[in-house]
Amino acid sequence: MPKIVDHEQYRKELLGKCFDLFAQKGYGSITMREIAQNLGVSTGTLYHYFPSKESLFEHLVEEICEQDLSAALGELGGKKGISEAMTALGRYLEKNEDYFIKWTYIWVGFCQHQDSKEQSNNVYMRANQRYQQAACDFLGIRDRELATFVLSFIDGLLLGKLQGNKMINFPEQCALLGKMLTAYLQQQESEQLKIRN
Amino acid sequence: MPKIVDHEQYRKELLGKCFDLFAQKGYGSITMREIAQNLGVSTGTLYHYFPSKESLFEHLVEEICEQDLSAALGELGGKKGISEAMTALGRYLEKNEDYFIKWTYIWVGFCQHQDSKEQSNNVYMRANQRYQQAACDFLGIRDRELATFVLSFIDGLLLGKLQGNKMINFPEQCALLGKMLTAYLQQQESEQLKIRN
Amino acid sequence: MPKIVDHEQYRKELLGKCFDLFAQKGYGSITMREIAQNLGVSTGTLYHYFPSKESLFEHLVEEICEQDLSAALGELGGKKGISEAMTALGRYLEKNEDYFIKWTYIWVGFCQHQDSKEQSNNVYMRANQRYQQAACDFLGIRDRELATFVLSFIDGLLLGKLQGNKMINFPEQCALLGKMLTAYLQQQESEQLKIRN
Amino acid sequence: MPKIVDHEQYRKELLGKCFDLFAQKGYGSITMREIAQNLGVSTGTLYHYFPSKESLFEHLVEEICEQDLSAALGELGGKKGISEAMTALGRYLEKNEDYFIKWTYIWVGFCQHQDSKEQSNNVYMRANQRYQQAACDFLGIRDRELATFVLSFIDGLLLGKLQGNKMINFPEQCALLGKMLTAYLQQQESEQLKIRN
DNA sequence: AATGAATGAGCGTTCATTCAT
DNA sequence: TATGAATGAACGCTCATTCAT
Residue A25 domain-assigned (yes or no):
no
Q: CA-to-CA distance for C46 and C43, rounded, in angstroms?
A: 5
Residue-wise over B22-50: b if at least 16 C-beta within 10 A, else e?
A: bbebbbbbbeeeebbeebebeeeebeebb
Per-residue pLDDT averaged across B76-89, rounded?
A: 84
Q: Do A138 and A79 form a contact (C-beta atoms < 8 A)? A: yes
Model confidence at D3, pLDDT cuts 50, 70, 90, reads low
Minimum-distance nucleotide, CA of C29 to C1': F15
Residues of chain D contacting residue C149, judged by C-beta atoms under 8 Å apart: 153, 173, 176-177, 180
Closest chain A residue to B125, measured at CA:
A165
SS3 assignment, position C143: coil
Domain count, chain D: 1
Test D108 with C111 for CB contact under 8 angstroms: no
Question: Minimal Cα–Cα distance from A13 to chain B, Å?
Answer: 24
pLDDT tens column, D131-181: 888 888 888 888 999 999 999 999 999 999 999 888 899 999 999 999 999
Quick check: do A and B touch, 3+ CB pairs under 8 A?
yes
Interface mutation target, options B22, B32, B167, chain A, most CBs of A under 10 Å: B167
Which range has the worst mean pLDDT, A16-20, B154-158, B180-184, D76-80? D76-80
pLDDT value of position A5: 64
Q: What is the DSSP string of B15-41?
A: HHHHHHHHHHH-TTT--HHHHHHHHTS
Measured between beta carbons, the chain C residues lying within 8 angstroms of D176 are 145-146, 149
Task: Please report the sign of the dihedral spanned by the C-alpha atoms of residue B154, residue B155, residue B156, residue B160.
Answer: positive
Q: Which residues of D touch C146 (CB under 8 A)?
A: 176
D35-55: average pLDDT: 97
- Other Cβ atoms within 10 Å of B135 Cβ, number: 18
Kindly provide the residue ranges of all beta strands, DSSP E only, lying in A2-49, ordered along the sequence: none
Asked if the structure places residue B130 within a domain, the reply is yes
User: Does residue A43 fall inside a structural domain?
Assistant: no
Q: Give the domain range for residue A188.
A: 61-196
**D104 to chain C, closest Cα gap in Å:** 9
Distance CA C119, CA C122 (A): 9
- Contacts with B41 (C-beta within 8 Å, 6 or more apart), sequence order: B14
Residue A122 confidence class, pLDDT cut points 50, 70, 90: confident
| A86 or A6, higher pLDDT | A86
Q: Cβ separation of B109 and A26 shorter than 8 Å? A: yes
Q: Which residue is nearest to nucleotide F14 (CA to C1')?
A: B44
Render pLDDT for B95-154 as a digit per residue (tens, 0 to 9).
999 999 999 999 999 999 998 887 766 777 888 888 888 888 888 888 999 999 999 999
* DSSP of B54-69: HHHHHHHHHHHHHHHH
Chains D and B touch (3+ CB pairs under 8 A): no
CA distances for D154 relative to A69, A180, C175, D100, D177, angstroms: 81, 93, 18, 10, 10
Within D 13-72, residues with CB less than 7 Å from strand E? 30-34, 43-44, 47, 51-54
CA distances B63 to A31, B5, B103, B113, C161, Å, are 30, 20, 12, 17, 55
Residue A55 covered by a domain: no
DSSP C78: -
| A170-196 helix and A144-162 helix, angle to the nearest 10 degrees | 160
d(CA B49, CA B114): 22
A145 inside domain? yes
> Which residue would you say has higher pLDDT here, C68 or B18?
B18
pLDDT at residue number C2: 45
Report the share of chain D in percent with pLDDT over 90. Answer: 60
Q: Which is nearest to C19 in space by CA: C46, C47, C59? A: C59
Half-sphere exposure of B151 (CA within 13 A, CB side): 27
In chain B, what residues touch A186 (CB-CB under 8 Å)?
183, 187
Verify whether the Cβ–Cβ distance C152 to D157 is below 8 Å: yes
Distance D8 CA to F16 C1' (A): 38
In angstroms, the CA of B48 and the C1' of E8 are apart by: 14
Give the residue ranges of chain C where pLDDT is below 70. 1-5, 68, 79, 120-121, 197
Q: A100: burial class by Cβ within 10 Å (0-12, 13-18, 19+)?
A: buried
Contact, C104 vs C51, CB < 8 A? Answer: no
* Residue B94 to residues B82, B157, C179, C189, D6, Cα–Cα distance (Å): 18, 11, 97, 108, 64
Q: Which of C22, C167, C191 to mutate to test the interface with D (most CBs of D within 10 A)?
A: C167
A188 occurs within a structural domain: yes
C-beta of residue C159 within 8 angstroms of C-beta of residue D124: no
Q: Strand F positions with any atom < 7 Å from protein CB? A: 1-21
Cβ atoms of D176 and C145 closer than 8 Å: yes
pLDDT at position B121 is 67
* A18 in a structural domain: no
Which residues, in sequence order, are CB contacts of D92 under 8 Å at separation 6+?
D72, D75, D76
Residue A17 CA and nucleotide E1 C1' are separated, in Å, by 65
CB nearest to A109's CB, from B26, B116, B183: B26
pLDDT of residue A1: 42
In this complex, do D29 and C27 lie within 8 Å of one another by their Cβ atoms? yes
Q: Is residue A40 part of a domain?
A: no
